[in-house]
Amino acid sequence: MFERLKMLNLGIPLLLLLLLALMTLQVPVALLDISFTFNIALALVVLLASVYTLKPLQFAAFPTVLLVATLLRLALNVASTRVVLLEGHNGGAAAGKVIEAFGEVVVGGNYVVGLVVFIVLVIINFVVVTKGAGRISEVSARFTLDAMPGKQMAIDADLNAGIIDQVQAKLRREEVSREADFYGSMDGASKFVRGDAVAGILILIINIVGGLIIGMAQHALPFEDAIRNYTLLTIGDGLVAQIPSLLLSTAAAVIVTRVSGEADVGEQVVQELFDDPRALAVASGVLFVLGLVPGMPHMAFLGLASIAAAVAFIIARNRNAMASEGDTPEADPAAQEEGTQDVGWHDVSPVDVLGLEVGYRLIPLVDKQQGGELLKRIKGVRKKLSQEFGFLVPSVHIRDNLDLLPNAYRISLMGVTVGEAEIYSDKWLAINPGEVFGRLEGIDTKDPAFGLDAIWIEDGHRENAQALGYTVVDASTVVATHLNQIMQDHAATLLGHDEVQKLVELLSEQSPALAEQLVPGAVTLAGLLKVLQMLLAEKIPIRDLRTIAEALTESAQTSKDTDALVQAVRIALSRMIVQNIFGSEQQLDVITLDPELEQLLNQARHQGSNDAPVLEPGMADRLQESILAAAERQEIAGKPSVLLVSGAIRGLLARFVRLSQRVVHVLSYEEIPDNKQITVVATVGRSG
């Protein structure tokens, strides 16, 4: 295999050596015949390859092949010119069998006819094929380059919408770049063919004039013999070069006029040209009428008219047979049309995990061509949260919705609206962080993410707002921040079975034995999902999956209760949990419960369930008010609000305070590291 690759790699250097040899050395006539034959064969192969190519990029090496073939043909012209001028006085066979055959057989030994045929071939190649292909290449290159930003934006939109993944997006970007490079190269490569046609004319004139001078002056040939010998050899040489040139020009035209499809050029032409029998039927009628005109070649016209009519009849019969196969005896056209539109599973669209709908005035925010930065911001939010949470956050499916207000947007989670607001893409949002030094003119509103007082201001008031203490952000940042907050609040919902399966696969790459003990040894995949969701619901990242797995495999041997498993994992992650709350502080200020109240809550947990314990409504209200009051005092002091309770009721109180929508961290005594000191700043009693 490697030996073959090495031999292929030597092909280009050997070809370059051949080109240099043809241009500088006197080549034997036999080698010249082989080179001319190879040149014609190469042109035929390139033409057929372009015909059978489904799309232009499948023959991306065509510009390079065109350059090499052109250089080979010019090198052969140099070598043949040397042979013609040196040996032309000896007759037609002096320059080789190929040149003699094209000079004698193709044009019948008449150099005037040969000259006319050569000029006609040059005109066809230079004026028609090459000029048209060059123009198409130029226009295609221009339109491809102009369309690149739109194609890149479409790829980014599909990536952010979750239609494609990173690998597919990378492949599509590479294909867009290759397409632009290909048509740009074709635009330049067409100039090679055009220049080659001009060079053929000049070489013909130089060879005829030079041959006459050499034949008459050096070899003392009569004018008639000199003009006949050198002109026939020169025309044969020109025809040998022009036929491959015309083939390559045709191949270039086929490539640049090719429209990508599922079939090659031949199949596509047959399918589209002979799909409708009416064209052939009308053509048959016209040919039949022309065949009846006196003086016309009746057999030719009437024969072609009969053939066209027969082909049209066969196509029409086949189409009717195909149409009748789908009919039923009692079916009518309306019923058939209704049957083709029957409801199927493809009509059931899946619910987006995360969706963002925008009004029509907010479309510029997601359009890169109009300077929209929202797609980039959302990508940054997903990357940041994925690193924080420890799993890949699902893509956000973005679409426009004409039912929304023009400046409104809506964020949905599993098809349910979880956030919406109205923003202004041409204004800035000045958010009041709590203390500002003046009033701004604008549209009063609330910050969608945190509910703070805010004002939509014009661009000219931005610096003034910042000087007054406002936090000023653009519309894209407002939406991205709102989306970021919703993702953080619903991290547990964003984690699904597929994400957990991927986490287990990643764990198996690092710790195969541990992953095998975890699933399905210690817990099922659904059980692991439940544990991880409960951790995320309490703002605990699941990055350290190894520690989580070790805690689960150990604790699952004694208990399968989900709350007990979660508590075991929390104890294993205690250092990270405490650090995320208090940072590097050694002194931890906490709120505790009165022992009597803790005992009462523990009894209530046993009487009811973990999710719905038996608790007096009035007592529950007083308990919640007392905890929130103590938490508010901690917030005023600039310290985190932490409620420290026993492990038995930690999960119960965590769900209880979560309903208040206040940030209160509930820890158990077992979760406090040994190197930390505890200071009780408040105690919540039974009476509140």
Task: Kindly report, residue by residue over 161-171, the tens digit of the pLDDT.
Answer: 666 777 787 88
Mean pLDDT, the chain, integer: 80
- Tens-place pLDDT, residues 112-129: 777 777 777 777 777 777
Q: Structure tokens of 210?
A: 């030079």
At position 159, the amino acid (one-letter code) is: L
Is 556 in contact with 527 (CB distance < 8 Å)? no
The model's confidence at residue 502, banded by pLDDT at 50, 70 and 90, is very high
Domain positions in the chain? 11-264, 288-318, 354-490, 493-684
What percent of the chain has a predicted confidence (pLDDT) above 90? Answer: 20
Give residue 341's pLDDT: 58
Domain 354-490 belongs to what topology?
Glutaredoxin (3.40.30)
Structure-model confidence comparison of residues 592 and 277, the more confident one:
592
pLDDT band at 131 (very low <50, low <70, confident <90, very high): confident
**Nearest Cα to 312, choosing from 285, 331, 292, 291?**
285
Distance CA 259, CA 256 (A): 8
- The pLDDT of residue 331 is above 50: no
For the residues of 71-115, what is the DSSP string, one character each? HHHHHHHHHHHHHHHHHGGG-GGGG-HHHHHIIIIISTT-HHHHH
CATH architecture of 493-684: 3-Layer(aba) Sandwich (3.40)
Measure Cα distances from 619 to 85, 418, 616, 637, 644 in Å: 116, 31, 5, 27, 19
Report d(CA 27, CA 78) in Å as an integer: 10
The whole-angstrom separation of Cα 500 and Cα 525 is 7
For 405-442, what is each residue's pLDDT tens digit?
999 999 999 989 999 999 998 899 999 988 888 888 89
DSSP 126: I
Tell me the pairing of strands 396-400 and 354-358: parallel
Say which residue, 446 or 658, is predicted with more confidence.
Answer: 446
SS3 content of the chain, % helix, strand, coil (to 5): 70, 10, 25
Beta carbons within 8 Å of 397's beta carbon, 6+ residues apart: 161, 162, 352, 354, 355, 356
pLDDT, residue 437, reads: 85
Q: Average the pLDDT over 590-607 and give the result.
A: 82
pLDDT bin (cut points 50, 70, 90) of residue 335 is very low
pLDDT for res 96: 66
Residue 241 pLDDT grade (very low, low, confident, very high; cuts 50, 70, 90): confident
User: Hey, what are 330's tokens?
Assistant: 């009692």
Give yes or no for residue 505 having a pLDDT over 70. yes
How long, in residues, is the chain? Answer: 688
Please answer whether residues 594 and 563 qualify as being in contact, where contact means their C-beta atoms are separated by less than 8 angstroms.
Answer: no
pLDDT at position 455 over 90: yes
Q: What is the pLDDT of residue 109?
A: 60
Confidence band for 330, pLDDT divided at 50, 70 and 90: very low
Q: Do the Cβ atoms of 268 and 53 come closer than 8 Å?
A: no
Q: Which amino acid is at 105?
A: V
pLDDT band at 195 (very low <50, low <70, confident <90, very high): confident
Give the span between the Cα atoms of 420 and 133, in whole angstroms: 54
Say if residue 127 is exposed, middle or buried (CB neighbours under 10 Å; 0-12, 13-18, 19+): exposed
* pTM, full prediction: 0.52
